[in-house]
Amino acid sequence: MPNAAYPHFHAHRANPARVFGRARLRVGAVLLWMTFTLPLLLMFVSLAVDLGVIQVAKTQLQTAVDSAARHAARGALDGTAITRAISAAAQNSVNGAPLALLSSDVELGRWNVNTRAFAPAVLSGGTWTMADGTKINAVRISGRLHSSRNTGIKTLFANVLSPNSTNILSTVIATGGPTGMPPSALHRFNESSGSTCADDAPNPAVQSAFVADSSKTSWTGGGLRFNSATKAVTSSGATNVTDNLASTNNFTVFGRIRPTNFTQTNASIVSIAANASTRNFTVRQQAGKLEFLMTTSTGSTSLQSATFMTGGTSVHYDFCATFDGSTLKLYTRLNSTGVSGVGTMVSTGVTGNIAGWNRTYKLVYGNEDTNDRPYIGEILHVGIYDAAMNTSQISEMFGNPEGITFYPTASSASGAGGSIITVK
């Protein structure tokens, strides 16, 4: 009806039933939306949580198996590999519990540095042996999170689709050298990408090397190729390697390379050094030869190989330098079919010791740390040991366990040479 004060104004009162009906419709729409979307939201949240749990478990499992493999490699020949692996694994928590390895998760065998393949040994009468009579030098660890062991990962979303838990497997192969001798540093350069050269040595103080400029390098599926001047270097002094070698006053430096050319000189392949003239040791290419330089308490020593890079740039070349406290020897070999049983050796007497080696010098590949001695070519393997390997061990490192005849050759170093060394 018209209002007396405002004759043209009409008061309209809302219909309570209509208002209530609209509210019910809105509530119903919200409830309907939540009915369909809330399960989807919960599903995605559960899936994200599951993926996070699985990824964390994978990382923890990889770390635990790495540790187990490195410890087991030290016992590859003395019968303690399995107990070492199980003990080391149990010290690592994986998915909230210590990793429990079974003895069947630990396999002894042989790692072939040429084919980069692991051949398992055969366990018979409590003794592990290789079917072809070669020596055991590696261990393979398989870490498992599996429902059959009641260690599978229980997930939220996955259990809705399947009652089974998620299973994870991580396998690591570690080698401690041809006779179980643990390396102080071991770089296999078998990464497929990135800038990290992992140290696979079975010790707790591993030191990886990092490529300074990845645009100047490439991974070859078994090596790191330096296409132009850069370096791969540890982030700090190679104290672990230096301390280990200096404490024994012995060492072995083994490497496998494939140079791009045979004209480069003073090309530093691997060194623990501050620069081109101040070092603990350096291995460098001199055209078709190799040169090993080292510092002792009484000065410096250098030893140069004979020309052995004669097979072109498509084959590999091996070198192995040993120091037993008084004599430096440099073994070299063209790693090619048909000549694998022949190598060369030069040697020289050394005065002084290496006890005073500088702990601050970094481990550098493909150059000196000062970037003024670039090596152009591929590096496939470098192992550094705190003992002087004998010729039998060296022949194994060269991938020829049946024996290599090393022919002494003339050298620029005084006292180089000696009698023919035949390993059978």
Per residue in 87-104, is it b (16+ CB within 10 Å) or e — as a string? ebbeebebbeeebebeee
Domain boundaries, the chain: 70-175, 185-422
Which parts of the chain register pLDDT below 70?
A: 1-52, 74-79, 112-116, 133-135, 155-165, 175-181, 202-205, 337-341, 399-403, 405, 407-424
State the pLDDT at residue 113: 58
Residues, the chain:
424
Task: Give exposure, 328-362, as e/b (b: 16+ Cβ within 10 Å).
Answer: bbbbbbbbeeeebeebbbbbbebebbbeebbbebb
The predicted model scores a pTM of: 0.61
The Cα 256–Cα 331 span in angstroms is 12
How does pLDDT run across 162-197, given as a tens digit for each residue? 445 678 888 888 765 555 567 888 888 888 889 999
Query: Following CA atoms 309, 310, 312, 318 in sequence, which dihedral angle do they give, to the nearest 10 degrees?
Result: -40
* Tens-place pLDDT, residues 225-267: 999 999 999 999 999 899 989 989 999 999 999 999 999 999 9
pLDDT at 410: 46
* Sign (positive or negative) of CA dihedral 50, 55, 56, 60: positive
Q: Is 46 helix (H, G, I), strand (E, B) or coil?
A: helix
Indicate the CATH number of 185-422 among 3.30.70.3270, 2.60.120.200, 1.10.4080.10, 2.170.260.10: 2.60.120.200
